[in-house]
Amino acid sequence: MQELPPHQIPAGKSVYFASDFHLGVDARVTSAERERQLVRWLEQISQDAAAIYLVGDLFDFWYEYKTVVPKGFVRFLGKLAELRDRDIPIYLFTGNHDMWIFNYFEKEFDIPTFRSTIRREMNGQLFLIGHGDGLGPGDHGYKFIKRVFANPSAQWLFARLHPNFGIGLANFWSGRSRSANPDAPEFLGPEQEWLIQYCNRKLDTVPADFFVFGHRHLPIDYTLKNEHSRYINLGEWLTFNSYARFDGQEVRLHFFENDQGRVFGQ
C-alpha cells in the first residue's frame, strides 16, 4: 500500500472520486454518449475540484502497445489533458478491465497511475482508495487470472499480436463480460459483500475514516464495525452515473444526469 503526502483541501474546494466508466461498451446509453456525459461532468466539477481520483475501469479494455493505444475516447482524453493544463490534480487507478495501462497517462497527461490501494490523509481524515478487484475473500479464479495478466511475460506475448487482432479479440471478450451484461443491482448485506469484509478486517491494522473503492458496480455507503469508518463504493456509469464528493469534511455519493440514482447500504 502506497502512502501519499497529506492533502489540505482549500476552503470552497472539493475532491471528486469516480470509477467504472467502461468506455467502449454500450449500456443504458451508447459508449459515445456516455463519453460526452463524462466530459460534461468533468467540466462541471472542474469549477471547484481540488483533485479528481479516477478509480479504475475507465475503459472496458485498454492495452498500450509501444506506439499504439486503443482507438477512440478522444473527447474524454482531451478533457483530461485540458484539466491538467489548468493544474487540476488527477490520479488514475488501473482496474481489472484496464490493468494494461502502463505509462501513457503519466507521460502524456502528467497523471500519476496506481496499480494498488493507496492511503492518504485529507483534511485530517484518512482515506484508503483503490479499484477493489482481488480484495476480500474468495474469487480465487479471478485472482489467479489477475496474476497471469500482471505477469510481464504475458504482457510481452500479447504485445506480439497485431493491434487489429489483439484489441479486436479483447473487445470481443470484453463485450461478453459483466459490464456489457449487468445484473440487477442488489446489496448483499455485510456478510456477503466481500469489500465490506475486507474493510472490516483492514480496520484491525490500518485505521481509516473512508474506504473508497469501485469494481462492485453499486453505489454503496456503509458504516463499518467501529461505527465510524465508512465503506464508499463509487458505483458505475453504465446505469447509475454515480460519483463521490469530499467537501473537506464529509463524503457523499451523488448522481450525474440521473434523477433515479439510489445509494445502497444505508
CA distances in angstroms from 35 to 79, 141, 219, listed in the order given: 10, 31, 20
- pTM (2 d.p.): 0.89
Angstrom distance (rounded) from CA 251 to CA 265: 15
Cell of 82: 485540458
Contacts of 121 (CB under 8 A, 6+ apart): 6, 7, 127
CA neighbor of 18 nearest in space, from 257, 244, 258, 262: 244
Whether residue 134 is predicted with pLDDT greater than 70 in this model: the reply is yes
The pLDDT tens digits of the residues spanning 135-174 come to 867 655 556 566 656 667 766 666 666 666 666 656 655 6
Tell me the backbone φ, ψ of residue 242, rounded to 5 degrees. -100, 150
The pLDDT tens digits of the residues spanning 181-210 come to 556 678 999 999 999 999 999 999 999 999
* CATH number of this structure's domain 14-255: 3.60.21.10
Angstrom distance (rounded) from CA 124 to CA 39: 31
Whether residue 122 is predicted with pLDDT greater than 90 in this model: the reply is yes
83-88, long-range: CB < 8 A, 24+ apart: 83/42, 83/46, 83/49, 83/52, 84/109, 84/110, 84/111, 86/46, 88/46, 88/49, 88/51, 88/52
Cβ contact 100:62 at 8 Å: yes
Determine the average pLDDT of the residues in 63-72: 78
Let me know if 117 is exposed, middle or buried by CB neighbors in 10 A (0-12, 13-18, 19+). buried
How much is the mean pLDDT over the chain?
A: 88
The pLDDT tens digits of the residues spanning 11-59 come to 999 999 999 999 999 999 999 999 999 999 999 999 999 999 999 999 9
